[in-house]
């Protein structure tokens, strides 16, 4: 049987040998053999190897690094970030500062699949290596979810056995999404379905609230009757029945943010305050732009130290939350894409003192980078959740006159290969 000496870890969770062959669930310098199951046969184990916390690790597609102790996970991510930048041709780098928190029970949002297994309704996740089209993996625990989220999932399944209203809605569901706030004092639920029952959603929610008093609101998202071949992310849901309050208050530092049900918010409740501090800090001035602003996490903090903040967000319901959060004659929320905003700003020759931007995984892209170079803002803070698109964008920005002066790795996603970074560029 082929034996591989693992040279390093690569983005995506696997280890790679000198031959270029890859193995999952290994660590640098380990000696292993591929096996038919999820885990390879490890002949020589790393001293950083530990027993996984979750019984579903390996079969579940959610986590990739539970077999490594936490300091080793952080070092793996730092090494991958360095290599990603080198591959993009970025050679002049500041020291990477690593920031982290509690690596367990950190997620404030989980999205669970719902299905019948052996005659019983169960909840679960996608299996490792699947795109979601295969049979789900039923789970009995989730070590990275906030405790209240898993208690709510268990309550729904338990109630389905005794309550007709709950059973009817859960049987019709495709997925459930739970979202909680910083101290787990409030909970929101979104139920995704293709064929909702005719009525009884209020009864479903009231029954669940008796078991989970923190449940403040819930809504139904109606998916197309025929699943998209591109997966759930490509499906556009329509609003169905709603119950209770439409969102929750989420405290970060001294600010309380209103987050509507379904709106994006940073997922790690343990380190979001660190992320905010790195992105905003003590910066001050006349004008700041917050691009891809979401519900206004950075905008609210910037508004206390800048005379004027312009926050740009196209997505709903985040854009509505942003407009409500950024009140005042000197501050404004703009409901358009960042590309459209920058195209207009270049024509008007606007120039802010600071730009903070937090784009989705696709990054900002070549056209936005080119427009940013024309704006010539003296300082840009780039918050990224994908090192590959970040390196691509920074290569263009540094070629257009910016210098990368600060690079922070913020571990928003412990136990997984995903990573968040905060980069600071100056002209």
**Tokens linked to 280:** 């905003």
C-alpha 301/C-alpha 381 separation (Å) is: 14
- 227-281 confidence digits (pLDDT tens): 655 555 556 789 999 999 999 999 998 889 999 999 999 999 999 999 999 999 9
Least Cα distance to 254 among 304, 328, 327 occurs for 304
Model confidence band, residue 407 (pLDDT cutoffs 50, 70, 90): very high
- 134-154 confidence digits (pLDDT tens): 779 999 999 999 999 999 999
Task: Report the CATH number of the 4-61 domain.
Answer: 2.40.50.140
- The boundaries of every CATH 2.40.50.140 domain in the chain are 4-61
Assign 3-class secondary structure to 34-81.
CCCCCCCEEEECCCCECCCCCCCECCECCCCCCCECHHHHHHHHHHHH
- 199-230 confidence digits (pLDDT tens): 889 999 999 999 999 999 999 999 987 765 55
For residue 60, pLDDT over 60 is answered with yes
Residue 224, pLDDT score? 86
What is the share, in percent, of the chain residues with pLDDT greater than 90?
A: 80
- The boundaries of every CATH 3.40.50.150 domain in the chain are 268-426
C-alpha 211/C-alpha 197 separation (Å) is: 22
The CATH class, in words, for 268-426 is alpha beta
Strands 96-99 and 403-410: parallel
Tell me 68's DSSP state: B
Residue 377: enclosing H or E segment and its boundaries? none
Torsion of CA 124, 127, 131, 135, to 10 degrees: -70
Mean pLDDT of the chain, nearest integer: 93
- Does domain 109-251 fall into CATH 2.40.50.1070? yes
C-alpha 14/C-alpha 8 separation (Å) is: 9
Tell me 231's DSSP state: -
Q: What is the DSSP string of 121-146?
A: EEEEEPBTT--SSS--EE-S--TTB-
**Tokens linked to 20:** 């270029």
Length of the chain: 427
């Amino acid at each position: 049987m082929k034996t591989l000496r693992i040279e390093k870890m690569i983005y995506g969770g696997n280890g790679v040998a000198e031959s270029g062959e890859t193995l999952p669930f290994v660590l640098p310098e380990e000696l292993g053999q591929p096996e038919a199951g999820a885990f390879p046969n490890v002949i020589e184990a790393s001293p950083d190897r530990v027993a996984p916390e979750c019984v579903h690790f390996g079969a579940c597609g959610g986590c990739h690094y539970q077999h490594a102790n936490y300091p080793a996970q952080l070092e793996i991510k730092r090494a991958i970030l360095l290599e990603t930048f080198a591959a993009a041709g970025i050679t002049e780098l500041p020291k990477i500062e690593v920031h982290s928190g509690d690596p367990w029970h950190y997620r404030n949002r989980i999205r669970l699949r719902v299905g019948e297994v052996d005659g019983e309704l169960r909840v679960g996740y996608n299996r490792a290596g699947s795109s979601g089209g295969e049979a789900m993996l039923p789970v009995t625990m989730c070590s990275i979810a906030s405790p209240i989220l898993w208690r709510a999932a268990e309550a729904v399944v338990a109630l389905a056995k005794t309550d007709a209203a709950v059973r009817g809605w859960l049987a019709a569901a495709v997925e459930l999404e739970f979202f909680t706030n910083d101290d787990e004092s409030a909970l929101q639920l979104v139920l995704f379905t293709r064929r909702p029952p005719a009525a009884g959603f209020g009864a479903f929610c009231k029954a669940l609230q008796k078991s989970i008093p923190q449940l403040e609101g819930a809504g139904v998202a109606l998916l197309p009757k025929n699943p998209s071949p591109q997966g759930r992310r490509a499906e556009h849901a329509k609003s169905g029945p709603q119950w209770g309050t439409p969102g929750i208050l989420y405290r970060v530092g001294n600010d309380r943010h209103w987050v509507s049900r379904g709106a994006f918010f940073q997922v790690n409740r343990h380190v979001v305050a660190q992320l905010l501090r790195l992105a905003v800090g003590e910066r001050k001035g006349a004008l700041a732009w917050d691009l891809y602003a979401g519900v206004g996490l950075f905008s609210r903090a910037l508004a206390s130290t800048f005379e004027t903040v312009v926050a740009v967000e196209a997505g709903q319901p985040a854009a509505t939350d942003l407009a409500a959060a950024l009140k005042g004659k000197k501050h404004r929320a703009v409901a358009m894409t960042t590309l459209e905003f920058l195209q207009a700003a270049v024509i008007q020759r606007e120039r802010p003192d600071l730009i903070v931007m937090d784009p989705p995984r696709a990054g900002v892209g070549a056209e936005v980078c080119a427009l940013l170079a024309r704006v010539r803002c003296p300082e840009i803070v780039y918050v990224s959740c994908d090192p590959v698109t970040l390196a691509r964008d920074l290569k263009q920005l540094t070629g257009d006159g910016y210098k990368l002066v600060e690079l922070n790795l913020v571990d928003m996603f412990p136990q997984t290969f995903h990573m968040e970074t905060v980069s600071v560029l100056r002209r």
